[in-house]
Amino acid sequence: MQEKVEKLLNDALAEKPSLFLIDLSITGANQIRVILDGDEGVSVQDCIDISRAIEHNLDREEEDFSLEVHSAGVSEPLTMVRQYKKNIGRSLQLKTETETIEGELTDVTDEAITLKWKAREPKPVGKGKVTVKKEATVPYNDIVEAKVMIKFN
């Protein structure tokens, strides 16, 4: 079942190059769960098309199954370089082993991401605080979790 679903899914995704797979899981009870993302987002029609490409090529008479196809939710952590790239310019909350940073995602490479943010810090001389611009480049290996922060203005 796993190989057949993977092939059907890969064939369907090949016809929609802006979409990409985040996760495919199949339980022992043949519950198939597909999570997609896309460079320009994922529409309901995209989910329907991918679902049909899989469902119409599997035989329930041969082996019963259930199928869920949906997009990665906004509360889901980013897991792939392609997801980071599509979110350049947005605010991220990034957790490493030692700190949590919230800033604007300004650059993405194959090795790391760069965040910029403003912070209030004590003045170097005298009392009070001053706003400083900060920047950090964080390798993917150091990222424990990264989520897009939704801002309502």
Whether 153 is in a domain gets the answer no
**CATH code of the domain containing 9:** 3.30.300
Domain coverage including residue 15? 2-71
Whether 37 is in a domain gets the answer yes
- Average pLDDT, 10 consecutive residues per value, the chain (153 residues): 94 96 93 94 95 93 92 88 95 95 96 96 90 96 94 74
pLDDT recorded at residue 150? 85
Whether 49 is in a domain gets the answer yes
The answer to whether 26 and 54 have CB atoms below 8 angstroms apart is no
**CATH code of the domain containing 90:** 2.30.30.100
Domain final residue, candidates 71, 92, 110:
71
Whether 30 is in a domain gets the answer yes
Instruction: Count how many Cα atoms sit within 13 Å of the Cα of residue 72 in the half-sphere of its side chain.
Output: 22
Residues 143 and 86 placed together within one structural domain of the fold: yes
Residues 122 and 94 placed together within one structural domain of the fold: yes
Q: How far is residue 136's CA from residue 105's CA, in Å, rounded to a whole number?
A: 10
Residues 41 and 20 placed together within one structural domain of the fold: yes
Q: How far is CA 3 from CA 8, 25, 44, 50, 92, in A?
A: 9, 12, 25, 16, 35
Residues 66 and 94 placed together within one structural domain of the fold: no
Q: What angle do CA 86, 26, 65 make, to 5 degrees?
A: 120
Q: How far from the centroid of its chain's Cα atoms is residue 78's Cα? A: 3
Residues 64 and 19 placed together within one structural domain of the fold: yes
The answer to whether 83 and 42 have CB atoms below 8 angstroms apart is no
Q: How far is CA 29 from CA 33, 66, 68, in A?
A: 12, 9, 14
Give the ranges where the chain is alpha helix by DSSP (H). 2-14, 44-55, 81-86
pLDDT recorded at residue 124? 87
State how many domains the chain has: 2
pLDDT recorded at residue 142? 96
Domain final residue, candidates 71, 99, 130:
71
Residues 33 and 86 placed together within one structural domain of the fold: no
Residues 7 and 41 placed together within one structural domain of the fold: yes
pTM, whole model, 2 decimals?
Answer: 0.81
Where would I find the beta strands (DSSP E) of 19-65?
19-26, 31-38
Domain final residue, candidates 29, 49, 71:
71
Sign of CA dihedral 96, 88, 115, 104: negative
pLDDT recorded at residue 151? 77
